Amino acid sequence: MIIQAKSLKRLVDAILKQGGSSDEEAQVVADHLIRSNLAGHDSHGVGMLPTYLRMLQTDLLKPNQVPELFKSDGSIMMFDGKRGYGQAVGKIAMEKAIEKCRESGLVLMTLRNTHHLGRIGTYGEQSIAAGMVSLHFVNVTDHTPLVAPFRGSDARFSTNPICLAMPGSEKQPPVLLDMATSRIALGKARVAFNKGEALKEGLLIDHQGQSSTDPAVIAGYIFPEREENPPLGALTPLGDYKGYGLAMFCELLGGLLSGGRTIQPEHERQNSIINNMFSIIVDPGKLVDVPWMQHEVEAIAAHAKASPPANQEEPVLIPGEPELISLNERLAKGIPLDDASWEQILVVGEALGLKREAMLNLM
């Protein structure tokens, strides 16, 4: 089915409010989720609501939290998210870091103990909107690992995303790299599972460490209550040892230096999603002349895109352009949502006390 973004946002906003969020928080989280769908990252969009419901029901996700600045030292800012909605807590922490960066030119900001931050590219977009450059390294804790290390046969890490963001110019859109350090995010496997589709070779391994294309091998991570789940497999690292190495540094930077924790097994796991983030925000105007920077961004982007495409139907794109293309298409045509995901969202609303008819009337 195809749903217009405004209609879907009304529904998501109502569900979040019913789950205890204030009007402001519900709007921020709903905006973030819908923006993820619009950008083509359905793995981090409205399909996350069933997971959030499980966390709310077990008090592992706490609505209406404000990040606590527990340490401030020069250009260093360290926040604790208090298990709040990461989309809301992360937005506030970034706003404070950007405000400080306008004065100092450089900020190292960490955020620990926050529930799922969502699509990390959103925080890169925040810095871009302020004319800032940013780098983000995130780890994921408090649940069973999802991703096998290079040469390993079972999961030891999570999808540990990174994001790098650079402002553009009037001629060139911003450059935004937003990626998991696994070959795919867990949510992309959830989307394939709900659609009944196989995944490409090399993205998954089964419980014996053998390559698999069946997303059911990791269904136990997504739907733990499902009785017919096969033994747990794992996602595979992006670029073999390269993605594995980046995932390790997400643990060391995002997990360790934030004062949060890494995914190593000494720490309790409550089967929720806790993110820790290590971010560097830079005012490029403190380093170089901004018009010259903009020219260089335009020139290097044009240089890359001038490469003749190997496939004429797939031109060279700059990081961030696939999301812009998806955004424009989905704003015009609507957001595609499979039947299983749609039903799961309605079930979430019903579990929180909303009537199905009332939810459908919002559409």
Q: What is the CATH number of the domain that holds 48?
A: 1.10.1530.10
Residue bearing tokens 């925000």: 281
Together in a domain, 69 and 123: yes
104 belongs to a structural domain: yes
Of all residues in the chain, what percent are helix, strand and coil, respectively (each to 5)? 45, 15, 40
Q: What residue type is assigned to position 115 of the chain?
A: H
Q: pTM above 0.75?
A: yes
**Number of compact structural domains in the chain:** 2
Residue 314 Rama label (left phi>0; alpha psi -120 to 50; beta): beta
Together in a domain, 81 and 177: yes
CA distance 323 to 175: 11
283 belongs to a structural domain: yes
Which pLDDT does position 201 carry in this prediction? 92
CA distance 20 to 12: 13
Which pLDDT does position 224 carry in this prediction? 81
Which pLDDT does position 226 carry in this prediction? 82
CA distance 19 to 13: 10
Together in a domain, 157 and 288: yes
The sign of the dihedral angle between the CA atoms of 119, 122, 127, 131 is: positive
Together in a domain, 250 and 133: yes
208 belongs to a structural domain: no
Together in a domain, 159 and 261: yes
Which pLDDT does position 191 carry in this prediction? 83
CA distance 209 to 200: 16
Together in a domain, 275 and 168: yes
Positions in the chain short of pLDDT 50? none
The backbone torsions φ and ψ at residue 165, rounded to the nearest 5 degrees and listed phi first, read -135, 135
Together in a domain, 50 and 98: no
**Which pairs from 329-334 meet CB under 8 Å and 24+ separation?**
330/5, 330/37, 330/38, 330/40, 331/5, 331/38, 333/2, 334/2, 334/3, 334/4, 334/5
Which pLDDT does position 223 carry in this prediction? 82
Which pLDDT does position 197 carry in this prediction? 92
Residue bearing tokens 């699509």: 119
Q: 55: domain range?
A: 1-63+336-363
DSSP count for the chain of H helices, then E strands = 12, 12
- Tokens at 80, concatenated: 């604790």
- Tokens at 341, concatenated: 């995901």
363 belongs to a structural domain: yes
Residue 89 Rama label (left phi>0; alpha psi -120 to 50; beta): alpha
CA distance 207 to 220: 12
